[in-house]
Amino acid sequence: MHSSNPVPVRVRRLAHGQGLDLPAYATQGAAGMDVVSAEDVTIAPGARHAVASGLALAIPFGFEIQVRPRSGLALKHGITVPNTPGTIDSDYRGELKVILINHGAEPFEIRRGDRVAQLVLAPVTQASWLEVDELDETARGEGGFGSTGGLAVLGG
């Protein structure tokens, strides 16, 4: 269920972002807003680039914006966000840039105005550490990195 009260996020359009659409939800049920490129760039196979959005944000305290790949770009072209989800903190005031990597076999051209990623506004809960001498026991214990199975190659 989507919130009936959207959280306002202040946005400043930078000079090279003039004339571009602000991030927007493509459908009523979308969780992420599509963000567009403010530049033309070609990403070679295996290369990375921080794609300019032409926008700077003031995210409210207690929230972050997560930068996520677009599934169509990932499936069809091997274009993804290498640090997914990328996090934009509430105290960052620089330009929003989307780090993209080309895992495909061909150079990938991005044109100004192309949708390059999704932005998800999410609440943040900060942790505090409580150091203890022992942790409670669980059925899993210290098993990790595939210990619960799921793939035949892992034996489960």
Q: What is the pLDDT of residue 21?
A: 97
114 in a domain, yes or no? yes
149 in a domain, yes or no? no
94 in a domain, yes or no? yes
131 in a domain, yes or no? no
Residue type, 6: P
Q: What is the pLDDT of residue 145?
A: 78
115 in a domain, yes or no? yes
143 in a domain, yes or no? no
CATH of the domain at 27: 2.70.40.10
Instruction: Give the Cα separation of 14 and 16 in Å (integer).
Output: 6
**Element (DSSP H or E) covering residue 50:** strand 48-58
**pTM here?**
0.86
DSSP 55-73: EEEEPPTTEEEEEE--HHH
Instruction: Give the Cα separation of 36 and 13 in Å (integer).
Output: 13
Q: How many domains does the chain have?
A: 1
Say how many CA atoms lie within 13 Å of 38 toward its Cβ: 21
Torsion of the alpha carbons at 150, 152, 155 and 156, rounded to the nearest 10: 30
Round the average pLDDT of the chain to a whole number and report it: 93
Residues of the chain with pLDDT under 70: 1-3, 153-156
